[in-house]
Amino acid sequence: METAMTREMYKEMGIDSKVFDFGQKIAEELAPRFEEINQVAEYNQLKVVHAMQKCRASEACLYASSGYGYNDIGRDTLEEIYAETFHAESALVRPQIACGTHALAVALAGNLRPGDELLSPVGKPYDTLEEVIGIRPSKGSLAEYGVTYRQVDLLEDGSFDYENIRKAINEKTRLVTIQRSKGYQTRPTLSVARIGELITFVKEIKPDVICMVDNCYGEFVETIEPTDVGADLIVGSLIKNPGGGLAPIGGYIAGKTEYVENAAFRLTSPGLGKEVGATLGVNQPFYQGFFLAPTVTASALKGAIFAANIYERLGFSVVPDSKESRHDIIQAVTLESAERVIAFCKGIQAAAPIDSYVDPEPWAMPGYDSDVIMAAGAFVQGSSIELSADGPIKPPYAVYFQGGLTWEHAKLGIMMSLQKLYEKGLVELP
Question: Integer distance in angstroms from the first to the last C-alpha of the chain?
Answer: 21
CB-nearer residue toward ligand PLP: 51 or 103: 103
Cβ atoms 329, 308 nearer than 8 A: no
Q: Which is nearer to ligand PLP, 84 or 214 (CB)?
A: 214
Taking the complex as a whole, the smallest distance from the CB of residue 50 to ligand PLP amounts, in Å, to 27
Q: Which residues bind ligand PLP (CB under 6 A)?
A: 99-101, 126, 128, 179, 181, 183, 214, 216-217, 237
Least Cβ distance, residue 15 to ligand PLP (angstroms): 30
Minimum Å gap between C-beta 214 and ligand PLP is 5
Contact 90, 255 (CB under 8 A): yes
| Angstrom distance (rounded) from CA 355 to CA 357 | 5
Give all strands (DSSP E) within 17-167, no chain letters: 90-94, 117-120, 148-151
| Bridge partner list, 253 | 92, 235
The residue number with the shortest CB distance to ligand PLP is: 100
Three-class SS state of 119: strand
- Name which of 44 and 237 has its Cβ closer to ligand PLP: 237
Closest Cα partner for 276 from 96, 98, 109? 96
Residue 23 or residue 121: which is nearer to ligand PLP going by CB? 121
Least distance in angstroms from the C-beta of 382 to ligand PLP: 7
Return all residues near 163 (Cβ < 8 A) that are at least 6 apart.
Answer: none
Nearer to ligand PLP, 131 or 214 (CB): 214
When the beta carbons of 252 and 344 are compared against ligand PLP, the nearer one is: 252
CB 390 within 8 A of CB 375: yes
DSSP H or E segment with residue 372: strand 372-376
Judged by CB, which is closer to ligand PLP: 16, or 127? 127
Nearest approach, Cβ of 87 to ligand PLP (angstroms)?
Answer: 21
Measured from the CB atom, is 128 or 288 closer to ligand PLP?
A: 128
What percent of the chain is helix, strand and coil (3-state, nearest 5)?
A: 45, 15, 45
Contact indicator for 120, 128 with CB cutoff of 8 Å: no
Report the nearest approach of ligand PLP to the CB of residue 379 (Å): 16
CB of 127 to ligand PLP, least distance (A): 8
Distance CA 283, CA 305 (A): 32
CA distance linking residue 6 with residue 80, whole number of Å? 43
- Do 412 and 13 form a contact (C-beta atoms < 8 A)? yes
Query: ∠85-196-84 over CA atoms, to 5°?
Result: 10
Nearer to ligand PLP by Cβ, of 178 and 410: the residue is: 178
Which amino acid, one-letter code, is at 327? H
37 CB-near residues (< 8 Å, 6+ apart): 298, 301, 302, 305
Q: For the CB of residue 286, give the shortest distance to ligand PLP in the complex, in Å.
A: 16
Q: How far from chain centre, in Å, is Cα 131? A: 20
Closest approach, Cβ 187 to ligand PLP, in A, equals 12
Smaller CB separation from ligand PLP, 194 or 346:
194
Shortest Å, Cβ 271 to ligand PLP = 27
Distance in angstroms (rounded) separating the CA atoms of residues 412 and 33: 19
